[in-house]
Structure 1
Amino acid sequence: MNSNLTFDFTVNKETNTVYVKKEFAAKPDLVWDAYTKPELLDQWWAPKPWLSKTKSMEFKEGGRRLYAMCGPEGEEHWALADFISITPKTSFKFSDAFCDAAGNLNIDMPRSDWDVDFVDKGDSTLVNITIKHKTLADLEKIISFGFKEGFTMALNNLDEIFANS
């Protein structure tokens, strides 16, 4: 794994926003596919030993992904990504929320708005992710769940996939 690749995880409590910059040793088409195809997402989206399991996904504006984070003891934590806008091979935006297995939103849990941008750097791809929360309390709740650690582990899973391909 190339340790010279960019990785930055910043939390801005004044704007209720998380910024993640992650560079992958892979061409943009491969990175785009890893973020937008369910069979690839499920290989890396969850921190080990957890697994991601997509129940349904329609990657288009107005489409959605319904998926679960599945734990080693049989736990399932369901989430829903509603795709807002997609610029192929460049960026996409979605609203993320906790839900049940049928996709019914859990209104007691925070939603977040994700903006994911892909930058071609030749032999690598930089992914810039902006995750906006409605309130500071929502941001702090997600951080208290171990979001930084879990998402970092998931991104490292994707590094491993690219290193082994």
Structure 2
Amino acid sequence: MPVIDVHKDVEALALTFVAEFDASVEQVWQVWEDPRRLERWWGPPEWPATFVEHELREGGRCRYYMTGPDGEKAAGWWTVTAVDAPRRLEFDDGFADEHGEPDPALGATHAVVTLEDVGGRTRMTTRSTFESAGQLEQMLAMGMEEGMRQAMGQIDGLLAGAARSGSDATRR
């Protein structure tokens, strides 16, 4: 399992995931930059994502939906606030309505993703900050920690498949 640490800091309204991968920073960056690769791991295995919009640039918008095992759809959005490829990505993140527009009911989070070389491996740190302690607790109750662990757990296979074939492995 690539997730090596999860830290919840209620005082700072933050949840941080640290994962490590046997791949270069540039290869791990590609799982964020390429929407076809991103949708192969964003979301738990039983809720695969489909990105219908993916503008990975400052001010860019990303829109997606995840499809559950019974065909139920859950939509989400990002607004990209900073990009320093291949080392850092920041975005606001939230749930969306059926038209892909932000749904304010659960608020938004701000995510900061950093990639760093650690002895030939890549450490990916993903820190999400929340609007309130209540929002953080609500997201945890909805399964955010386990969902992110499962989602990030799919990246190793994606990276290994790309290395074996020299391109993307087959879609899950």
Shorter-chain TM-score tier:
over 0.9
Residue 75 of structure 1 is matched in structure 2 by 72
Aligned positions, number: 162
Q: Tell me, in whole angstroms, the C-alpha distance in 1 between the residues paired with 2:45 and 2:26.
A: 25
Cα distance per residue 1:17-46 (max 9 Å; x no partner): 001111111111110010121110011112
Gaps of 5+ in 1: none
User: Is the 2:90–2:112 contact (alpha carbons within 8 Å) kept by the matching residues of 1?
Assistant: yes
Q: Tell me, in whole angstroms, the C-alpha distance in 2 between the residues paired with 1:139 and 1:67.
A: 22
User: Is the 2:114–2:125 contact (alpha carbons within 8 Å) kept by the matching residues of 1?
Assistant: yes
User: Is the 1:27–1:122 contact (alpha carbons within 8 Å) kept by the matching residues of 2?
Assistant: no
Residue 141 of structure 2 is matched in structure 1 by 144
Residue 36 of structure 1 is matched in structure 2 by 33
Compared CA separation, residues 6 and 112, structure 1 to 2 (3 A): closer
Q: Tell me, in whole angstroms, the C-alpha distance in 1 between the residues paired with 2:29 and 2:90.
A: 13
Counterpart amino acid of residue 134 in structure 2: A
Q: Tell me, in whole angstroms, the C-alpha distance in 1 between the residues paired with 2:150 and 2:139.
A: 16
Counting only pairs closer than 5 Å after superposition, residues 15-164 of structure 1 correspond to structure 2 as 15-164=12-161
Please report the TM-score for the alignment, with normalisation by the length of structure 2: 0.89
Considering only aligned residues, what root-mean-square deviation do their CA atoms show, in Å? Answer: 1.4
Which SS does the other structure have where 1:114 is aligned?
strand
Question: How much does 1:100 deviate?
Answer: 1.7
Superposed structure 1 runs of 4+ greater than 2 Å apart: 162-165
User: Is the 1:118–1:125 contact (alpha carbons within 8 Å) kept by the matching residues of 2?
Assistant: yes
The percentage of aligned residue pairs carrying the same residue is 25
Which SS does the other structure have where 1:105 is aligned?
coil
